[in-house]
Structure 1
């Protein structure tokens, strides 16, 4: 599936958690089997705090089916202006991006209060889920992280900062050949003026750069998050000189002061490439 993972987030409304759950399930049942735009909805494949993702497929007037897509739908009980603006900004940002390591968006649909984003469908799951369910070699993990880094280099070149880079937001195909950054709900334009605070605090505590807590960030916030990820998922698997080299990359990427970090992902990728070369020339450095 595009994102074969169920995430149940803790949140309540005035009617309590039971009321929210009931509305959520009723909304899911109403959508399955319906047609939005040219796509028929078949099943829910991911559930989040503000939106669900469904598997859909293009259906033509003669009854034939076309491409399979993922359809992200804003929850009907998340109709505050802030949530709608955040949802639409994610669509706007992703529509600008075309890169093998960034999930592609084909379009959006608004039907009354219903807001949808149509995205490419990838058979697989999040990097977190893949690592929990499969035995993945150190070399393949390095490959996935290398592709992730290339995606970050691209979005930064497009003047966008993700602000929520974590293993759960790295989509990987079942054969581990396709790697895509997903969930741009907290993303911001880097051209935002320094005095303009982001619309909402983004990120997950473990991977969040310190400056994000004050509402200010640039590409170095993503560099920090990526540094935490490689320290968590790759560093413990390395030995010898590869471990030493990657340890230096992680330390520089995750410094408290953003001025002390890599200034760009390209600089980090340059050093990360040295670790890559070391693994290729000396496979014994992989635990």
Structure 2
């Protein structure tokens, strides 16, 4: 193992998940975020790492390097200022993001072109949520970029944008109705002692629904488009986005409604989301930022 791993600062923890932690560290004299995961949790699934290694976009988190020791896998990632949900923490909270943000529609556009790129690269993310949107600010120029992160559940898709799935993955409050229905179908099968295992097909259109939820969350100042925690699953399955009428921009509401269509065939695609936002009266200029 290289000397770089020894520069991991375990006392400067940025986050913690089910299988690992994220701390500040150094890689090639650059400050980075280092994600450390036990090898036993990644031995059978390296798709996220392989996917990130092939991605290069301003609105997707960058993986600089990965290596292992006897117990852990270490991922050296672009260091960002905060994740999106920290923007909506209460004033006075020590972890609240207090930096600048681009105009709201620019935020949506950045996320839209990021997801469009992921899909064009033949991948489905499967875990889009506010915690997986990172805020990066250029320390020299002050420009702010929103970046999709955490590709641990991503999978390659075929030319039609579909992929095989043997079970539900992702974070329940941010899942599309077709994925939630699959989960409840599995629950019913188990309760009826059915042992037949069938491989189902998923689609990148489920990502678009989840992205629409993130858009709504951002424009609603941290509220979920489908209501309070105990209401979310029922409201998603009944197609009742109870908070959307609180979004001030009619343009944004119209877009999100297209993203939250219950029927996959009626749902707008990630490329159409990006095109829709590119037509806004707020001109979003391409950013040329060296990181």
TM-score by length of 1: 0.69
Aligned counterpart in structure 2 of residue 116 of structure 1, from 61, 74, 81: 74
For 1:273 and 1:216, the matched residues in 2 are separated by 31
On the 8 A contact 1:138/1:237 being kept in 2, the answer is: no
Q: Is 1:197 matched up with 2:165?
A: yes
Aligned twin of 2:273: 268
Aligned residues: 228
SS at match of 2:165: coil
Spell out, residue by residue over 1:24-63, the C-alpha distance to the aligned partner (whole angstroms, 9 max, x if none). Answer: xxxxxxxxxxx8552411132211111111211137xxxx
Aligned twin of 2:238: none
For structure 1, which segment, 221-230 or 209-218, has the greater mean C-alpha deviation from structure 2 after superposition? 209-218
Structure that is richer in helix per residue: 1
> RMSD across aligned C-alpha pairs, in angstroms?
2.9
Aligned twin of 2:144: 177
Spell out, residue by residue over 1:84-130, the C-alpha distance to the aligned partner (whole angstroms, 9 max, x if none). Answer: 333x22111100101111111122112223212121222x1011102
1:176 Cα deviation from its structure 2 partner:
6.4
Aligned counterpart in structure 2 of residue 159 of structure 1, from 122, 125, 142: 122
On the 8 A contact 2:123/2:154 being kept in 1, the answer is: yes
Structure 2 stretches lacking a partner, 5+ long: 90-95, 183-199, 220-243, 285-291
For 1:99 and 1:222, the matched residues in 2 are separated by 18
Residues 136, 220 of structure 1: alpha-carbon distance in 2 compared, 3 angstrom cutoff:
farther
Q: Is 1:56 matched up with 2:25?
A: yes
Residues 1-287 of structure 1 aligned to structure 2 (within 5 Å): 37-39=3-5, 40-42=7-9, 43-58=12-27, 66-75=29-38, 79=40, 83-86=42-45, 88-122=46-80, 124-132=81-89, 133=96, 140-174=103-137, 177-191=144-158, 196-197=164-165, 201-213=168-180, 214=182, 216-234=201-219, 238-239=247-248, 242-243=249-250, 245-262=251-268, 264-274=269-279, 276-277=280-281
